[in-house]
Amino acid sequence: MENFKTGALAKYGLDYQSLAAENPALIYCSLTGFGHDGPYKDKAGYDYVIQGMGGLMSVTGQKDGVPGAEPMKVGVAVSDLVTGLYSAVAILAAVIHQSRTGEGQAIDMALFDCQAAALANQATNYLAGGIVPGRLGNAHPNIVPYQVFATTDGHIILAVSNDNQFRRFIKVAGLDALATDPRFSTNAERVAHRQLVVDTLKPVFAQRTSAQWIDDLEKVNVPCGPINRVDQVFSDPQAIARGLTVAMQHTAVGELHLPASPLRLSRTPPEYRNAPPLLGEHSEEVLSGLLGIGPDELASLRKAGVV
């Protein structure tokens, strides 16, 4: 635990050991860009930088040689989000250990570590297969056809993940002749002949609307879907049925619609108590109600500009 002495608590003259000495059951989670050891331990960590350093941008974006080809970040701060999720799992694991032994522990979480772990199949392609993955746009490195195709009025995602699905797909697409073509017979062959497969399918998809394709493919259980804008996501019948938004009363704007928690717990469902507060909205409530600071001291804090 020595590395935690140089962490955030050390700035305030504290360290994990001294706190744990007071409370051996303490669970302390530190979340930094690069962790508490290694040559980058003192570097600042920001999601954008981590997406680049952690390999994500090297596999995101159009492949070299096509218009718009460059490494691309994901549209949301996914490294931050993944690290938060991993941290929650780590804390829960520590809580289980604490409940069994009464012993707390320090948790050292790093954005860089979590982004590397989240490379998933792309990391395995390299570590187990020696293949350095590159950018493939919307295509999949190990499955074909598994990508976006243009239709007469937009785009759809086709996600054919096995050979049975491909055979059902070519019937819907009117490409029965491909059933006997060895270059299309298995996923391995389709990956080996990726460009041929894509070039064959592009003009076929351009003959129907997105809705027609989705309707036809879903009838035979071929995975596919639209590419929704954010407004379309939250107006989707499935989103409405699942209650993916929540309305709350906000101090400044009145009713405010927010993303709902995706957690569905039968015994302890999430509760929505307070809308996002204004800056300092609850300062006095916290200082007096939780910390027991009296009126005179609060007045001094206000005068000093602290509150």
Which of the residues are catalytic?
A: 80
DSSP 77: -
Instruction: Report the helix count and the strand count for the chain, using DSSP H and E.
Output: 13, 7
Q: CA of 266: how far to CAs of 50, 95, 263, 270, in Å?
A: 36, 21, 10, 10
Question: Do 158 and 169 meet the contact criterion of CB atoms below 8 Å apart?
Answer: yes
> How far, in whole angstroms, is CA 134 from its chain's centroid?
20
Instruction: Give the tokens for residue 137.
Output: 């746009």
Closest CA to 219 of 176, 177, 172, 155: 172
| Angstrom distance (rounded) from CA 19 to CA 17 | 5
